[in-house]
Chains A and B, each alone.
Chain A
Amino acid sequence: MSGVQVSIEALNECQIQEVTLDGQEIYVQPLSMSDSLSKLAHKIDFHRDECETKGKPTSEGDKEEEEEPPAKNAVFQPSLWPWDNMRTKLKMALTETSVLLDVLKIVKEKHYMVLDSVSIDQPEAKPGFFAVAKKRALNSAVSILSNGAERLRKSQEQAAKRTTPNFHYELLKLRSKWRLKKVGTTILGDLSFKSAGSRFWQSGTFEVTKNDLMPSDFKEGAPAHTVRSPLQVHIPSELESVAYIQVSIRHTQEGCEDLASADLQLPNSLPGSIPSDTPWQRRLETAQNVIFCKEVFVQLAREAVQVKSPLPHLVIGNQVFSHLFPGMQLCIALCHSIDKSRQSSIRPGPKPDHNQVLEHSLHQLVRELHFKNSYHPMPHPVSALLGVSKKRRNAGPQAFSRTELLDMTHSESMLEQIIRQARHFVVRTRTLDILDKLSEEITDLQIASHWCNLSSALESMVKVNITFNGYETFKALFALHICVDKIRVVMKDGRVINLSYEPQELNDFILTQVAHHHICIVQALAKLMGWQLLTSNSHIGVGEMEPVGNVQSIMLASPLGNRVIAVRSGPFSGVHVHVQKTPDVDTIRELHESKHVSLAEKWEMLGGPFHKVHLDKLEGRNFVNKMELLMACLSSERTDTF
């Protein structure tokens, strides 16, 4: 413990000013920068005259300052020196001169420093000055704050005063009807039918932006439609303007005659471009309609290429041609008003009439397609594939045959369905024309057709009554079931006759029915009038041949048996009536005059030749009325009238 004490001393950081005799070192305390500056500044005594000093405020002052002290230090002797006082004064003068030089340079060249008065002994603070300055500063800050607040308040008031809805209200309305999402800073919407089950490739993306409205846009009392909406939608250029699908059925020979047509377009939209100030709802609906039309056409065009048919479907540009019947074709065209040249080439003639039924059918077909894509029959097992029908799932367990499986896989494309509907439309139109034409041509009797109100796009029915005016009790009745490409006739007695789509067959059939009805009604009339039916033949083999069908005939005898009426009715030759009188007056007279023949009374009842009756010269409204009058007249005639 009694070791040698070692004194450790820190290195001198400060300059030693003096070493006292007892060995104590007195240090020079380092000055802070401001202290040193203050000290140096205080050393300057501007009031004293230092003219005797040699220092000059020249630019070489620094050099002198640096050069001279070593010279003086060299001669410095701390001992009593006779010029010590002088030396000290000179040194002080030099220092002051140097400081003066520095100050002057600082004042003159304001590059590095700016003079600022520094005083240790500050004068007495003036709180009033500070308060005024602070108040002024606070005022400026308050004005900035109040300006900002005023701006916010004005914008709020402006938004409240507006009669038109603001951006967010419009956006809410838009969101409730359309799909929107935010990508980054932009709001994007979707026009496509993908959420409804469509698989069309075209994306209907549109952008929603805020329409910056100037206050001048809002005028008092301005109509609502003239004020611009605060919300603006940007639709891709390919979806601008109006598009529609035109379906027409044409005669290939004539090329321009349209039997039917359908336009797929908005009810209120005008063809042509949509002006930019249209409300966004209508613009979006129009653009969506363009997508819809494009999807319809692309689907039809794809099926036209894929579906095989005896006569291949043609896809030329924006038109699809399909063969319906010989001489008739279905033309489906996409009309988009951007392409003016194509549109004009599609419609060379006047605009065909709209057919709402076909338009609705096209709508329904596409919607059904969408529905099938998005909705699957429920419930279905977890392990089963999606989109498989229940029938197909049960095909394995129930051991379906190959034929059943093939039938199940067959699905009808949209083009085939619309072709079937168009065929039915053509057959129906032809039937209607034939019925109207015949009812106009045949004025003697009435061909009344009653169309059934329960019909589908592929089947309809019409009942046909053939009657004579005033004799409606006797009627010929048959029903025509108009299918896709044939007409099925159901007769009154249950017979079924199948006719093809050719209108001539129906024409011939109705004419045959008319001819048959003539015979039938004469027979019924005979029963009423007490006449006796002698013969009735529906296929007589004598006389002129009819181009189509057979001639029918009937022979009737009067109640007394002395008159015979023969009626011959053919589909094209018409009705001919002949009358035979018994006895024949001319023959009996000849026999009496000859006196060579013994004439028994019974031979007087021999029938003579038939005489043709000119029906057009008879009284009566129609054929039955004339026959009735004729029968009545002949019934009253007695044998001994001659």
Chain B
Amino acid sequence: MSQNTVAQRGNQGSSTQTKEAQLKVYQKRLRDDIKTMTDNFLEIIRLMKIEEESHVSRPSKCEQDQFELEVRAANIVRAGESLMKLVSEVKQFVILNDFRSVNESIMAQMHMYRHVQTECDTKLFALRDDMAADLFEMEEEYYSSVYK
């Protein structure tokens, strides 16, 4: 028994650790994505500044800037979609690991089924009593009649 208890505790501990690690991963992803958005936005703003001195010619510089802007914009979009995915995953995580609400729903269902059971029992008892009374009369009539 004690071994089982220890094993259960170990399992609980490991599962708690896994959940903590998962939550940290989610936090890290959230920070990374937001940081990516902020950094890329700042870089875009910085790129808007017209630099006077450059070793590269103007058209090349313009092309390079345009390309960089597009890449950074795409990075922001990707980070946004990654955030949406993160939201979806966090929802799943909450749904699957929210044991309090699961227990509440189980308790609610249990109460509901117990209520239904009580109701059914009451109705069945009443039905049984009625049927027993009626059955007695009907048996009396049936066995007294000539049509059997």
A134, B58: Cβ atoms closer than 8 Å: no
- The residues in A between 141 and 197 inclusive whose CB is less than 8 angstroms from any CB of B are 141-142, 144-145, 147-149, 152, 155, 168, 171-172, 175-177, 180-182, 187
State which of A68-76, A265-273, A447-455, A593-601 sits at the interface with chain B.
Answer: A447-455
Are the C-beta atoms of B132 and A181 separated by less than 8 Å?
A: no
| Inter-subunit contact B73/A130 (CB<8 Å) | no
- Least CB distance from B105 to A in Å reads 4
- Flag if A130 contacts B139 (CB, 8 Å): no
Binding stretch for chain A, among B6-14, B27-35, B89-97, B110-118: B89-97
Quote the shortest CB–CB distance from B89 to chain A (angstroms).
9
Query: A140 to chain B: which residues have CB within 8 Å?
Result: 66, 69-70, 73
* Chain A residues numbered 176-233 whose CB sits less than 8 Å from any CB in chain B: 176-177, 180-182, 187
Partner-contacting stretch, out of A53-61, A290-298, A438-446, A549-557: A438-446
In the assembled complex, A137 has its CB within 8 A of some CB on chain B: yes
B48 contact from A138, A144, A152, A446, Cβ within 8 A = A138
A460 to chain B minimum Cβ distance, whole angstroms, is: 13
A440 and B70 contact, CB distance less than 8 A: no
B92: shortest Cβ distance to chain A, in Å? 7
Bitwise, B127-140 to A at CB < 8 A (1) or not (0) is: 01101100110011
Per the bound structure, the CA–CA distance linking A482 and B129 in Å amounts to 21
User: Are A439 and B148 neighbours in the complex by a CB distance under 8 Å?
Assistant: yes
With A133-B62, A449-B143, A451-B135 as contacts: A168 and B50 at CB distance below 8 Å: no
Within 8 Å by CB of B132, from A168, A436, A453, lies A453
The reply to whether B96 and A144 form a contact with Cβ atoms under 8 Å apart is no
Hey, which chain A residues are within 8 Å of B77, CB to CB?
144-145, 147-149
Q: Is A87 an interface residue (CB 8 A)?
A: no
- Interface residue? A79 (CB, 8 A): no
Shortest B135–chain A CB gap in Å is 7
B88 near A453: Cβ-Cβ < 8 Å: no
> Which residues in A have their C-beta under 8 angstroms from that of B109?
176-177
**Within 8 Å CB of A175, what residues of B?**
95-96, 102
- Count how many chain A residues have C-beta atoms less than 8 Å from C-beta atoms of the other chain: 47
Instruction: Report whether A148 and B143 are in contact in the complex, using a CB–CB cutoff of 8 Å.
Output: no
B139 CB to nearest A CB, Å: 5
CB-CB under 8 A for A450 and B102, given A134-B48, A138-B69: no
- With A136-B66, A148-B81, A453-B135 in contact, do A131 and B95 touch (Cβ < 8 Å)? no
Interface flag for B57 (CB, 8 Å): yes
B58 contacts A145, C-beta separation under 8 Å: no
Instruction: Report yes or no: A133 in contact with B88, Cβ–Cβ below 8 A.
Output: no
> Is A112 in contact with chain B by the CB < 8 A criterion?
no
Residue of B55, B57, B69, B91 ringed by the most chain A CB atoms within 10 A? B69
Contact indicator B69/A137 (Cβ below 8 Å): yes
Q: Is A125 an interface residue (CB 8 A)?
A: yes
Within the assembled complex, what's the spacing in Å between the Cα atoms of A473 and B59?
A: 124
The smallest beta-carbon distance between A475 and chain B, in angstroms, is 12
Q: A148-B81, A386-B1, A446-B143 are in contact. Are A187 and B92 (CB under 8 A)?
A: yes
Binary flags per residue of A573-606, CB closer than 8 Å to B gives 1, else 0 = 0000000000000000000000000000000000
Counting CB contacts under 8 A, is A116 at the interface? yes
Does B74 touch A at the CB level, under 8 Å? yes
User: Residue of A at shortest CB range from B131?
Assistant: A453
User: Is A385 on the interface with B (CB-CB < 8 A)?
Assistant: yes
CB pair A443 B146 closer than 8 Å = yes
A469 within 8 A of B: yes
> In the complex, which residue of chain B has the Cβ closest to the Cβ of A168?
B91
B95 touches A137 (CB 8 A): no
Which 10 A-B residue pairings sit nearest by Cβ, starting from the closest? Answer: A148-B77, A137-B66, A448-B143, A133-B62, A141-B73, A453-B132, A176-B105, A141-B69, A144-B73, A130-B50
20 contacts between A and B (CB under 8 A): A134-B47, A136-B66, A137-B65, A141-B44, A141-B72, A145-B77, A149-B77, A152-B81, A168-B88, A175-B96, A176-B102, A182-B92, A187-B96, A446-B144, A447-B143, A448-B143, A450-B136, A453-B129, A453-B132, A453-B135
Other 20 A-B pairs with CB < 8 A, given A138-B48, A145-B77, A446-B144 = A130-B62, A131-B50, A134-B47, A134-B48, A140-B70, A141-B44, A144-B74, A144-B77, A145-B76, A148-B74, A148-B76, A149-B80, A168-B95, A182-B92, A448-B139, A448-B144, A449-B139, A453-B129, A453-B131, A453-B135
